């Protein structure tokens, strides 16, 4: 996208938000109402990448850019910041976090780039907390809106930097088994939905911890299983339909038989 098109996009957004001649839907939006669309567009970008569809990726990146421009326009209207400030902030951050590229005279070539990056991020989080009058924490600025598995992993990684982590895999697996037993106990004792939800959360959190120790991305692992389930279930549906059967005539035994057949075919 050329600078001219970026300027045009910003101007179009201003027109859409014009209080008298703009689009009624765009005018009535605020940061909260637009936030779900921003998240949705980010997922659609990821989906296009996963499918290897470059044309869709181009379009979805445009939709995501629109979200940035939309938020920047609303901020400009309330005189908080504008699109130029947004671009300037990320430019400054990139330069600050890459001294090995932009400040080679003062950068130690022997230093670990990953450690330098994390130290800089930690310093920025501390400054933000202090500016808000809060006590800094390793867990600062882990977005609440992240998918739960991803957020759990990030929280655990942050805590691990402070030494709050097991060094060996054994205790991680033991904790997972312990949480499973606690959930089973709640089920056996007729525990409330709230108690079972609490124990289920502990179990999932421990699953994320195990994935992290195995150097696996839990979100990717679950996405892979979701895709596998979808492939196999669609195949089961197709074979049942091809055999002239109807859903009311199919029992779990037939489902399981077709599922195992799909599994044997590598689906």
Instruction: Encode 16-52: b = buried (16+ Cβ within 10 Å), e = exposed.
Output: bbeeeeeeeebeebeeeeeeeebeebeebbeebeeee
Rg from Cα positions in the chain: 25
Q: What is d(CA 14, CA 8) in angstroms, rounded to the nearest whole number?
A: 10
Q: What is d(CA 127, CA 123) in angstroms, rounded to the nearest whole number?
A: 6
Helix axes 252-264, 218-242, angle to 10 degrees: 110
Q: What is d(CA 211, CA 219) in angstroms, rounded to the nearest whole number?
A: 10
Phi then psi for 10, rounded to 5 degrees?
A: -65, -40
179 exposure class (CB count in 10 Å sphere: 0-12, 13-18, 19+): buried
pLDDT in tens, the chain (267 residues): 456 899 999 999 999 999 999 999 999 999 999 999 999 999 899 889 988 999 999 999 999 999 999 999 999 999 999 999 999 999 998 988 888 888 777 667 766 667 676 777 777 777 777 777 778 888 888 888 888 999 999 999 999 988 999 999 999 999 999 999 999 999 999 989 999 999 999 999 999 999 999 999 998 899 899 999 999 999 999 998 888 887 777 888 888 899 999 999 988
Q: What does the pLDDT read at residue 147?
A: 87
Q: Is there a contact between 183 and 206 (Cβ–Cβ < 8 Å)?
A: no
Q: What does the pLDDT read at residue 261?
A: 92
**Three-class DSSP category at 135:** coil
In CATH, the architecture of 142-216 is Orthogonal Bundle (1.10)
**Helix H segments across the chain?**
3-16, 24-28, 31-51, 54-77, 83-97, 99-102, 113-131, 148-161, 169-188, 193-213, 218-242, 252-264
Q: What does the pLDDT read at residue 3?
A: 63
- The CATH fold of domain 3-97: Helix Hairpins (1.10.287)
Q: Can you read off the two tokens belonging to residue 2? A: 């050329």
Q: What does the pLDDT read at residue 125?
A: 73
Q: What does the pLDDT read at residue 122?
A: 73
Q: Which of 186, 187, 160 is CA-nearest to residue 172?
A: 160
Q: Can you read off the two tokens belonging to residue 34? A: 């637009």
Q: pTM, whole model, 2 decimals?
A: 0.67
3-state secondary structure 49-92: HHHCCHHHHHHHHHHHHHHHHHHHHHHHHCCCCCHHHHHHHHHH
């Amino acid at each position: 996208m050329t600078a001219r098109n970026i300027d045009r996009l910003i101007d179009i957004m201003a027109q859409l938000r014009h209080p008298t001649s703009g689009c009624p839907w765009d005018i009535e939006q605020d940061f909260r109402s637009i936030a779900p669309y921003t998240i949705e567009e980010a997922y659609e970008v990821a989906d296009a990448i996963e499918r290897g569809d470059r044309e869709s990726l181009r379009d979805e990146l445009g939709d995501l850019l629109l979200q940035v421009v939309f938020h920047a326009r609303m901020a400009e209207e309330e005189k908080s910041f504008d699109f130029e400030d947004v671009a300037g902030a990320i430019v400054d951050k990139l330069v600050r976090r890459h001294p090995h590229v932009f400040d080679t005279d003062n950068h130690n070539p022997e230093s670990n780039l990953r450690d330098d990056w994390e130290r800089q991020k930690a310093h920025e989080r501390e400054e933000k907390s202090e500016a808000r009058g809060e006590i800094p924490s390793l867990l600062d600025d882990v977005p609440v809106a992240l998918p739960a598995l991803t957020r759990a992993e990030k929280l655990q990684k942050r805590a691990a930097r402070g030494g709050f982590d097991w060094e060996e895999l054994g205790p991680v697996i033991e904790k997972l088994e312990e949480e499973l037993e606690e959930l089973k106990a709640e089920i056996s004792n007729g525990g409330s939905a709230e108690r079972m939800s609490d124990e289920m959360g502990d179990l999932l959190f421990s699953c994320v911890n195990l994935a992290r120790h195995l150097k696996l991305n839990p979100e990717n692992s679950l996405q892979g299983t979701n895709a596998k389930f979808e492939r196999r279930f669609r195949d089961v549906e197709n074979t049942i339909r091809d055999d002239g059967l109807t859903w009311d005539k199919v029992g779990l035994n037939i489902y399981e038989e077709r599922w195992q057949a799909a599994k044997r075919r590598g689906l």
